[in-house]
Structure 1
């Protein structure tokens, strides 16, 4: 039987919120009416982490992720429930906490390890490995007040990844540094996992969660929504950005389906059944509108997550007024900085129709949002939007840099060819 290093059962954490300092003072006086509001930060959470397992915790800001980690690390006390931690913990809740800016990188490594009660002889035996991993060259023996922010986090990650705990708890720290340093970090984590080190990881980076996790815990508004398969958890997490759709897909009245499509058309029925966006909220009885959309990958799986250089297929049911002469469907793909990475603009017909649009995602792995529009082209490169569906969905492009050579470097792949015409000499 695989040993559980963390086991949490019905864990709850609540805080008393006081309106005034007077109310706070009255709370400690016996036999006096107390005035406070109770805030629930964690509500009946249960999960476990096995030896050598990588478990991620995801959820919106304020869902209770960091509170949960702080309880497991002993920073906060639970209100009720129970948890068991079998083994030593290293927690990376904030990179570089406790570093002294006047000390060198080497001196901070030794001082921090003593603070965390790790054996000094062990750290001295690892100091050369830590120095090589951080790759700070002469800066390793200079005061860290001279470091850039990137150098600072490289030093902190290098220290923590060379300690020898049973459990490693990380809060949003695996996206530090450049891609080559991240590759080293991920390789080191895999090496530690093979030795039985368990990881509990909090992140908003779904690409990392999908690549690294064995299981995923999803929290929302202090409650546990799901614990288990990482793909299902991430799908539910994406749905949370679509107006409280954690537990259900968009509901379409069956009579509406029968009015607009032939009941025998199985594909159209499937599109309505697996519709990923609440179009009705923005349609407002418009004659030109998108009525439903379904997304699947190359294997026919319903998902908005795709591997790099693979395709997703979008199925749209669209209605266009007959007086619209040059209608088109427009997808704007935007990165986390709100930059337009690509715009897909395709002509369609002026009637009710089923459209199939396939897109190969040959852009840098990560999360991207899609804005969707129906437009009317007036002339070359000019037109007007008829209806907009901002933040229509989120696309997650996955690639495991620790195990594969990327097909390209940079933001996007550009088709190219090389041919040697002849050998001159």
Structure 2
């Protein structure tokens, strides 16, 4: 098994389509594929693009090495001609799309993949698996960030999802407004600040709660955060302040009726003179629970299960569709699926967000029947262009990858979120915050 190639992170039918296209001669036709969502999953009012930098990195490793080719031959997935084609496979086309951290709405052309049918069709599954997962987490994270206001958020859901998904989720959450993660691999790989002190097991290990607190303080100092709800919370708070003194950094509450318990703990800390000790709450939080704590004396939140599963919406529901192709005579034609409930909009697209005094008013998408896109930012002076070149002639733009790419995406998200109209900030299910409007290019 290859330790680097990502080429088999795909569905079998991508390669069987390739085989058939190689047989009938259509594999070399130039095509435009588009990744978009027909709707916003879960009745969300906006979506957040995430995963782009990860996808670009995976694209660099999308090569069929000896192990991958051997599997295709041994399992008779495709014929010998297709295997020979895949030996030299390299994506040589162009990918444009929304910046990571950008907001999106129904129909937004989040990625546009241009190349031959053969080189573009096989990217469908890996593109969707990355963008659907990461964008779902980022959208949930943005909603939680809005609910939290200025209070810090920590991602701590690694134990609630797969090991690779955990790292991807931490990355997406950080882009969309979270401040730290408990996952060390996410910290190493993506430069995300990490946090964490002790779990209930550490308290239970010791003969008394006081012994556990003294041990933690001896190791981490008085600015650590002590978990005070293993036994009786009121007694735990009293013990924490007695052991650490009034300079104790923080306490964490992981159970109970959090608004009531947080108020009681705050009052107790103040009575004990620990007026600067902060309160962190965890315990199955989501954006709705965080919103109910807005008036509570809470200083920060830790979110796990709900975040890494998209807070009830584990996929963004994006699709990858052919929207334009060359005909047999070399001319370009727009194509689209037209079946009930799954209608697509054919044609190559340019996307803009119209603004009124800095507030987004609509997602404006100019559609070209052919291949050449004639719309330019100058034709929409009241709008912000949304697409950038991510891959040129098969080479990903390194500026969107790695730690620097994550940092840039986080900054971009914070900036564009300021454009949202007030109605977009509500947590209830509703129509998208702004409409998507299609116009003919030209």
In the superposition, the TM-score normalised over structure 2's length comes to 0.23
Structure with larger Rg: 1
The structure with more strand, counted as a fraction of residues: 1
Higher relative contact order at CA 8 Å, sep ≥6: structure 1 or structure 2? 2
In the superposition, the TM-score normalised over structure 1's length comes to 0.24
The structure with more helix, counted as a fraction of residues: 2
